[in-house]
Structure 1
Amino acid sequence: MTGASTGMGAATAHALAARGFHVLAGVRRDHPGSPGVEPVLLDITDTEHVEALAARVAADERPLHAVVNNAGIQVNAPVEALPLAEWRHVFEVNLFGHVAVTQALLPALLRGGGRVVNISSVGGKAAMPTYGAYAGAKFALEAVSDALRREVEPLGVRVVVVEPGGVRTEMATRGIATANDLAGRMTPEQDRRYGGLVQAINSLMASGTSSGVTAQAAAEVIAKAVTARRPRTRYPVGRDAAVLTRLVRVLPDRALDRVIGATVRRHHPRVA
Structure 2
Amino acid sequence: MTTSHEIAIVSGASTGMGAATARELARRGLHVLAGVRREQDGDAIRAAGIEPVILDITEPDQIAALAARIGDRPLRALVNNAGVAVNAPVETLPMTEWRRLFEVNLFGHIAMTQALLPALLRARGRIVNISSVGGRIAMPAYGAYAGSKFAFEAVSDALRRELAPHGVQVVVVEPGGVRTEMNERGAATAGRLAADMTGEQRSRYGDLMRAVVSHADAFTRAGRTADFAAQVIARAATVRNPRTRYTIGRDAALMTRLARILPDRALDRLTAANLRPHFPRPAV
Task: State the TM-score, normalized to the length of structure 1.
Answer: 0.98
Task: Give, in angstroms, the shift of residue 47 of structure 1.
Answer: 0.5
User: SS at the partner of 1:236?
Assistant: strand
- The superposition leaves residues 33-60 of structure 1 with CA deviations (integer Å, 9 ceiling, x where unpaired) of 111000000000001000001001115x
User: SS at the partner of 1:266?
Assistant: helix
- Map 1:24-63 → 2, pairs under 5 A: 24-30=33-39, 31-32=42-43, 33-58=46-71, 61=73, 63=74
- The superposition leaves residues 51-89 of structure 1 with CA deviations (integer Å, 9 ceiling, x where unpaired) of 001001115x4x210100000000100000000000000
Q: How many residues align?
A: 270
Is 1:146 aligned with 2:154? no
Q: Distance in 1 between matches of 2:110 and 2:30?
A: 23
User: SS at the partner of 2:67?
Assistant: helix
- Map 1:69-80 → 2, pairs under 5 A: 69-80=80-91
Q: Distance in 1 between matches of 2:96 and 2:184?
A: 22
**Structure 1 residues not aligned, in runs of 5+:** none
Q: Distance in 2 between matches of 1:262 and 1:235?
A: 26
Q: Distance in 2 between matches of 1:58 and 1:188?
A: 55
Q: 2:212 aligns with which of 197, 201, 204?
A: 201
Counterpart residue identity of residue 183, structure 1: A
Is 1:222 aligned with 2:240? no
Partner residue in 2 for 1:6: 15
Partner residue in 1 for 2:25: 16
Task: Give, in angstroms, the shift of residue 271 of structure 1.
Answer: 1.2
Counterpart residue identity of residue 61, structure 2: E
Partner residue in 2 for 1:129: 140
Q: 2:169 aligns with which of 131, 155, 158?
A: 158
Q: Percent identity, aligned pairs only?
A: 66
Task: Give, in angstroms, the shift of residue 146 of structure 1.
Answer: 0.2
Is 1:114 aligned with 2:125? yes
Q: Distance in 1 between matches of 2:131 and 2:76?
A: 20
Counterpart residue identity of residue 246, structure 2: Y
Partner residue in 2 for 1:93: 104
Q: 1:66 aligns with which of 59, 63, 77?
A: 77
Is 1:265 aligned with 2:273? no
State the 4+ residue runs in structure 1 displaced beyond 4 angstroms.
none
Task: State the TM-score, normalized to the length of structure 2.
Answer: 0.94
Q: Distance in 1 between matches of 2:227 and 2:123?
A: 28
Q: Distance in 2 between matches of 1:211 and 1:125?
A: 20
Q: Distance in 2 between matches of 1:241 and 1:154?
A: 30
Q: Distance in 1 between matches of 2:122 and 2:52?
A: 24
